[in-house]
């Protein structure tokens, strides 16, 4: 018999990520709907870390321990998680869709002859079966996904899919169960993580951001956006492809691999709105999108939208703003 939901709580050097608590929320909600117990698992070298998770309303916390888990490697984490999953035989294994999880979860699932239902944004239960929803085509379309139900089902949830503050705390601390896990040869050796030279531009403090994407078409056209930024008194930023092309420096990049901002006004010019970009700006107070594709995902979160040619709209917008500011 297989049973229960296992949720993976991710930490880096002892600090749990916000998305881990979102995953706990997801696991608790699924557990309630399916009538299944939730167990959290923390990988590391001692049980102190697991104590932080035990405050949440879970059946128990498994502290899977091995000296080789002191730092993250896909080899060690996969071995450890495989041991835990085989020991507990959960029906669902829920993980946050972080860069760390992306690095090892497919390897873990492959040990069970399957893949991960990855990057989910929702899960709903009907007649005991879970339907997962994922974004496909860079966020343009949603897909409902059913699994064959055969345990274990591995699923990862996108950052923001559930709310971390909704993770329910328990009346009393959950029991922490220590599990010494075997870890085989670890082939990769990590060096300490680091940040690139201090970013010259701190966009997190900007009140107004004019961001450009692929739709700007050429480096010369950036001048149009700069004129709008000057009129509004804002800063220029960009989605990843613009920085990849070297049109703007990397410290202007907004999104999961760049800066996360929440200005009063965010104007997205020619940005379709891949999820990696949206996570970096979706909390902006007012979002404006100008894009020729009416189905672009950026419009899903925009307050004001113009479907059309940005090369027509932007010069007019700049002039009108200058007039209004008089």
Question: Residues 263 to 302: which contact other proteins by CB under 8 A?
Answer: 264-265, 272, 285-290, 293, 295, 297, 299-302
> Given the complex with other proteins, which of 59 and 311 has the nearer CB atom?
311
Pick from 37, 47, 125, 313: which binds other proteins (CB under 8 A)? Answer: 313
d(CA 24, CA 104): 19
Q: Closest approach of Cβ 291 to other proteins, in Å?
A: 10
Based on the shown chain and the rule CB under 8 A, indicate whether residue 147 belongs to the binding site for other proteins.
Answer: yes
Helix (H, G, I), strand (E, B) or coil at 30: helix
Long-range CB pairs of 129-134, under 8 A, 24+ apart, other chains included: 130/30, 130/34, 130/92
Based on the shown chain and the rule CB under 8 A, indicate whether residue 320 belongs to the binding site for other proteins.
Answer: yes
> Given the complex with other proteins, which of 37 and 247 has the nearer CB atom?
247
d(CA 69, CA 45): 6
Q: Closest approach of Cβ 125 to other proteins, in Å?
A: 15
CB 177 within 8 A of CB 118: no
Residue tagged 């860069």 (tokens):
99
> Given the complex with other proteins, which of 51 and 241 has the nearer CB atom?
241
The two structure tokens encoding residue 286? 């007012």
In eight-state DSSP terms, residue 229 is H
Q: Considering only CA atoms, which of 171, 250, 161 is closest in space to residue 203?
A: 250
Q: Considering only CA atoms, which of 321, 315, 285, 291 is closest in space to residue 303?
A: 285
Based on the shown chain and the rule CB under 8 A, indicate whether residue 308 belongs to the binding site for other proteins.
Answer: yes
Q: Closest approach of Cβ 164 to other proteins, in Å?
A: 15
Pick from 11, 33, 52, 106: which binds other proteins (CB under 8 A)? Answer: 106
Based on the shown chain and the rule CB under 8 A, indicate whether residue 226 belongs to the binding site for other proteins.
Answer: no
Pick from 63, 98, 221, 239: which binds other proteins (CB under 8 A)? Answer: 98
Based on the shown chain and the rule CB under 8 A, indicate whether residue 140 belongs to the binding site for other proteins.
Answer: yes
Task: Give the x-and-dash track for 10-49 against other proteins (CB under 8 A).
Answer: ----------------------------------------
CB 284 within 8 A of CB 267: no
Pick from 4, 44, 139, 270: which binds other proteins (CB under 8 A)? Answer: 139
User: What is the SS3 string spanning 41-101?
Assistant: EEEECCCHHHHHHHCECCCEEEEEECHHHCCCCHHHHHHHHHHHHHHHCCCEEEEECCHHH
Pick from 60, 68, 135, 277: which binds other proteins (CB under 8 A)? Answer: 135
d(CA 49, CA 10): 11
The two structure tokens encoding residue 170? 């328990």
Q: Considering only CA atoms, which of 99, 97, 82 is closest in space to residue 41?
A: 82
> Given the complex with other proteins, which of 67 and 184 has the nearer CB atom?
184
Based on the shown chain and the rule CB under 8 A, indicate whether residue 143 belongs to the binding site for other proteins.
Answer: yes
Based on the shown chain and the rule CB under 8 A, indicate whether residue 201 belongs to the binding site for other proteins.
Answer: no
Task: Report how many residues bind other proteins under the rule CB under 8 A.
Answer: 102
Pick from 14, 113, 172, 205: which binds other proteins (CB under 8 A)? Answer: 113
> Given the complex with other proteins, which of 126 and 180 has the nearer CB atom?
126
The two structure tokens encoding residue 16? 């749990």
The two structure tokens encoding residue 318? 């700049």
d(CA 237, CA 321): 19
Q: Closest approach of Cβ 7 to other proteins, in Å?
A: 19
- Give the pairing type, strands 175-180 and 60-65: parallel
Based on the shown chain and the rule CB under 8 A, indicate whether residue 118 belongs to the binding site for other proteins.
Answer: yes
Cα of 213 vs its chain's centroid, Å: 20
Binding to other proteins, residues 230-269 (CB under 8 A): 232, 240-241, 243-246, 256-260, 264-265
Based on the shown chain and the rule CB under 8 A, indicate whether residue 2 belongs to the binding site for other proteins.
Answer: no
Number of residues that make up the chain: 326
């Amino acid at each position: 018999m297989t049973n229960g939901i296992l949720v993976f709580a991710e930490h880096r050097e002892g600090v749990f990520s916000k998305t881990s608590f979102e995953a706990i929320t997801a696991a608790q909600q699924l557990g309630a709907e399916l009538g299944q117990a939730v167990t959290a698992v923390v990988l590391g070298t001692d049980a102190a870390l697991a104590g932080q998770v035990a405050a949440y309303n879970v059946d128990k916390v498994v502290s899977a321990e091995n000296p080789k888990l002191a730092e993250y490697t896909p080899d060690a984490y996969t071995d450890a998680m495989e041991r835990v999953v085989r020991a507990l035989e959960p029906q669902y294994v829920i993980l946050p869709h972080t860069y760390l999880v992306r690095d090892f979860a497919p390897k873990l699932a492959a040990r069970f002859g399957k893949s991960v239902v990855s990057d989910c944004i929702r899960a709903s239960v009907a007649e005991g079966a879970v339907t997962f929803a994922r974004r496909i085509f860079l966020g343009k379309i949603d897909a409902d996904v059913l699994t064959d139900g055969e345990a274990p089902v591995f699923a990862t949830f996108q950052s923001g899919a559930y709310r971390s503050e909704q993770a329910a705390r328990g009346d009393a601390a959950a029991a922490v169960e220590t599990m010494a896990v075997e870890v085989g040869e670890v082939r990769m050796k990590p060096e300490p993580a680091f940040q690139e030279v201090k970013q010259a531009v701190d966009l997190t403090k900007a009140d107004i951001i004019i961001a450009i994407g692929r739709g700007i078409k050429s480096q010369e056209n950036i001048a149009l956006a700069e004129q709008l930024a000057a009129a509004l008194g804002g800063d220029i930023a960009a989605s990843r492809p613009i920085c990849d092309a070297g049109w703007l420096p990397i410290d202007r990049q907004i999104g999961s691999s760049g800066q996360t901002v929440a200005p009063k006004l965010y104007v997205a010019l020619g940005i379709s709105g891949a999820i990696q970009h949206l996570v970096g700006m979706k909390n902006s107070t007012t979002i404006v999108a100008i894009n020729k594709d009416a189905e672009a995902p950026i419009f899903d979160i925009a307050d004001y939208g113009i479907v059309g040619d940005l090369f027509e709209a932007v010069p007019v917008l700049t002039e009108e703003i200058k007039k209004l500011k008089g």
